[in-house]
Amino acid sequence: MPHATTPDGVKLYYEEAGSGTPILFVHEYCGDWRAWEPQMRFFARRHRCITYSFRGYPGSDVPPNGDMYGQQPAVDDARHMLDHLGISKAHIVGLSQGAFATVHFGRCYADRVLSLTLAGVGSGAGRDGHEQFKKDAVTTAGLIRKDGMAKYAESLTTNPTRSRFRLKDPRGFDEFTKHLSEHPAVGAANTMENYQGKRPSLYDFEEEWKALDLPTLIVCGDEDDPCLQPSLYLKQVLPNAGLAMFAKTGHAVNLEEPDAFNRELWNFIVLVESGKWTPRQPAAKDAGLI
């Protein structure tokens, strides 16, 4: 089994396919390396694609110490993955928790980035409700430790940001929740408490976002209510960002609408690689109504 070992000794499981310009896929809290399979199959036809599991997730090491988890370790682990594979720059594609890691990867390691894709980004990171979100994360971590991952996975069947996925693709949703139930409870609880429960608000970095001119695609389902405003916010402050909104779609956009997601991401990467994804022009002060 292929692993990349981080400087603090954690082995991260990864898989890769294809050849060409690299794309690194960074999964969400409820996913793991398997959650990008529709994208691995599609993009590996033209690109070198890498998917991996966060520390604490299936295939990777599960440190028992909560201090070894968090947003910055997740950001740094993405860099360690590129280092291990000898990749100088890549397209970085993240969903949810992985999108947080992705946007902060761009902030911290812009010289390693060809483009950023932020899907389902911003849950609990707005100006309103951020502190309560962190408290709820700590509570959820305790429940995971007490009841295990099977019960947590079952709770997603009634989550409004996941219900559209279940309705559209029952078989795919069942596979998704089965994979989630297999996650190590120690890793899931530590991640929930120390990443979800301690990450800063996206709004705390506004000046840095305004200076981050990397090509960026933001993707959001219109029924992913916690991510709507943060996605619009990032579109407004990131100078070279575009926003794709998917109708009647929830949180796990890459699994719920794989064809639409792949087309959107493919078009974005083609435009980036051809030099045609450029920053928006500032509005003219004397622009009139059309």
Over residues 236-273, the pLDDT tens digits come to 999 999 999 999 999 999 999 999 999 999 999 999 99
Residue 187 pLDDT exceeds 60: yes
Q: Report the distance separating Cα 16 and Cα 18, nearest Å.
A: 7
| pLDDT > 90? residue 281 | no
- Give the pLDDT confidence score for residue 101 in this predicted structure: 98
CA atoms of 79 and 206, how far apart (whole Å): 23
To the nearest 5 percent, what fractions of the chain are helix, strand and coil?
Answer: 50, 15, 35
Q: 12 with 6: CB under 8 angstroms?
A: yes
- In DSSP terms, 50 is beta-bridged to 16, 24
pLDDT number for residue 287: 52
Give yes or no for a contact between 53 and 32, defined as CB atoms under 8 angstroms apart. Answer: yes
- Per the CB < 8 A criterion, the answer to whether 269 and 115 are in contact is yes
Span of 23-37, 119-133, 181-195 with lowest mean pLDDT? 119-133
At residue 290, the pLDDT reads 52
From 242, 245, 246, 134, select the one nearest 198 (Cα to Cα): 134
Residue tagged 């795919």 (tokens): 172
| 58-96 confidence digits (pLDDT tens) | 999 999 999 999 999 999 999 999 999 999 999 999 999
Amino acid at 13: Y
* Look-up of token digits 């933001």: 218
CB-CB contact of 45 with 67 (8 Å): no
DSSP 8-state secondary structure symbol assigned to residue 195? I
Q: What is the DSSP letter of 124?
A: T
Do the Cβ atoms of 221 and 114 come closer than 8 Å? no
pLDDT at 289 exceeding the cut of 60: no
Is 265 buried (19+), middle (13-18) or exposed (0-12) by CB count in 10 A? buried
Average pLDDT, the chain: 95
Strand partners for 242: 217
Share of the chain above pLDDT 70, in %: 97
Residue 161 is predicted with a pLDDT of 96
* Mean pLDDT of the 90-112 span: 98
Looking at the predicted structure, is the pLDDT value of residue 13 above 80?
yes
Indicate the pLDDT class of residue 151, thresholds 50, 70 and 90.
very high
pLDDT at position 284 is 55
Its sign, for the CA torsion 118, 74, 92, 165, is negative
Of the ranges 70-84, 104-118, 125-139, 234-248, which one carries the lowest mean pLDDT score?
Answer: 125-139
Structure tokens that stand for 215 in this block: 């090509």
* Residue type at 225 in one-letter notation: D
Q: What is the predicted pLDDT for the residue at 283?
A: 62
Helix-helix angle 71-84:97-108, to 10 degrees:
70
Query: Whose structure tokens read 């090509």?
Result: 215
Q: What is the pLDDT of residues 190-205, one digit of tens each?
A: 999 999 999 999 999 9
pLDDT tens for 41-53 read 999 999 999 999 9
pLDDT at 7 over 80: yes
- CB atoms < 10 A from the CB of 5, how many? 12
